[in-house]
Amino acid sequence: MHLNKATRFALYAVTELARSYPEKQTVQEIAERYGASEHHLSKVMQLLSRFQIVEAVRGVGGGYRLAISPKALTVMDIIKIVEPQFITEGCQLNPQSDPCAHSECSIHELFDEVARQIRATFSAVSIDTLAHKHDRKMVV
């Protein structure tokens, strides 16, 4: 399983914002903590802002803060926004085939079950839990 860089940055950012909730942090602060590109992280933050996950605070001393309680926000919520095709179900031999053209194939049933379990796990973990799991231990 591999999350793309934007998804990882989004998870890093909301985790950091959850640690300081309801206070704000700058893109620079978050980027420095994770060794991320400020430019790339800024684009991710703009996306999260469009989906009303974070709120931009303008002006001197500006930054971002969570617009939603970290207890109400899940890992899956973030993944669905940044990487909606991350966990898909269906034919593994021909992903464009819907429904699966191989009706006797048991492979897609296995992958579908794994995908359901991954989604359920990510949906069960709140950003608050992730942020405080190891009490300030970096989540890299």
pLDDT, tens digit (0-9, with 9 covering 90-100), for 84-115: 888 766 666 666 666 666 666 777 778 888 88
Q: Is residue 103 part of a domain?
A: no
Q: Is residue 96 part of a domain?
A: no
The angle that helices 38-50 and 75-82 make with each other, rounded to 10 degrees, is 100
Q: Is the pLDDT of residue 120 over 70?
A: yes
- Kindly report the CATH number assigned to the domain that includes residue 26: 1.10.10.10
Q: Is residue 9 part of a domain?
A: yes
Q: What's the pLDDT at 97?
A: 61
Q: Is the pLDDT of residue 134 over 90?
A: no
- Please provide the average confidence, as pLDDT, over all residues in the chain: 87
Cβ-Cβ contacts under 8 Å for 120 (sequence gap 6 or more): none
104 to 108, 111, 116: CA distances (angstroms):
10, 14, 20
pLDDT by residue (tens digit) across 13-61?
999 999 999 999 999 999 999 999 999 999 999 999 999 999 999 988 8
- Say how many domains are in the chain: 1
Q: What's the pLDDT at 110?
A: 83
Closest CA to 89 of 111, 104, 106: 111
pTM for the structure as a whole: 0.83
